[in-house]
Structure 1
Amino acid sequence: MDVLERIDQFVKQNPVLIFMKGTPQFPSCGFSSRTAEALKACDVPFGYVNVLADPEIFENLPRYRDWPTFPQVYVNGELIGGCDITLEMFERGELQPLVEAAVKVQEGNQQA
């Protein structure tokens, strides 16, 4: 499977997903750490991909949605942005309702 197809699968299978350096429990950079903390504070489950553990994804993710930096946050398959945008949305109270709605949609689809 092509790496962009693998990335696309991760994005489509997770209503809330962060591509980050490290893991939410053990982030490997400050930007990834702050972004994961904002997602954790929303108290909804989210997926993650440690780009440091997969060099192919690390090299090719910037091409997927033409976003050059890490972390990258996706909600309902759409790129939300990186650290700054995610934190701004969190501070404005926009992130939590967005990710809660995404998780509810997935839960509804699983029950159907």
Structure 2
Amino acid sequence: MTDAYNSIEKLVQDNPIILFIKGTKSFPQCGFSQTVVNIFELMKVPYATFNVLENEEIRQGIKTYSNWPTIPQIYIEQEFIGGADIIVALYQEGKLQEQIEKVLAE
């Protein structure tokens, strides 16, 4: 296992909801990252972010870790949910809210 893999694993395990994004919650640096941050802010739920622009090893490693080529990437309860397009679809269907309510109820 690489250091990047171990770091990603720890972030995913330590945070019930984590978004790997370009930029920060207060300053997302790509449209897709902005979209997922907006959705999580609308839902008013606690979540963590990791700015992949600050760590190239994790930026590349997360793609291998999830077997998903793009960022942002969203994990809920250590499960990879998807990127911006999937989050938007789940939110519009009400399924994202359901999944997060289960997490917060635990």
TM range (shorter): over 0.9
Equivalent residue pairs, number: 105
2:32: which partner in 1? 31
Matches within 5 A, 1:38-57: 38-57=39-58
Distance between the aligned counterparts of 2:13 and 2:105, measured in 1?
15
Distance between the aligned counterparts of 2:10 and 2:101, measured in 1?
21
Does residue 1:94 correspond to 2:80, yes or no? no
- The one-letter code of the counterpart of 2:50 is V
Q: 1:39: how far off?
A: 1.2
RMSD of aligned Cα (Å): 1.1
3-state SS in 1 of match to 2:105: helix
Give CA-to-partner distance per residue, 1:13-71, whole Å, 9 cap, x none: 11111000001110000000001111111111001100001111112110001011000
Q: 1:102: how far off?
A: 1.4
Return 5+ residue gaps in structure 1 as ranges. Answer: 106-112
TM-score by length of 2: 0.94
Distance between the aligned counterparts of 2:44 and 2:87, measured in 1?
15
Identity of aligned residues (%): 37
2:72: which partner in 1? 71
TM-score by length of 1: 0.89
Q: Is the 8 A contact 1:72 1:83 kept in 2?
A: yes
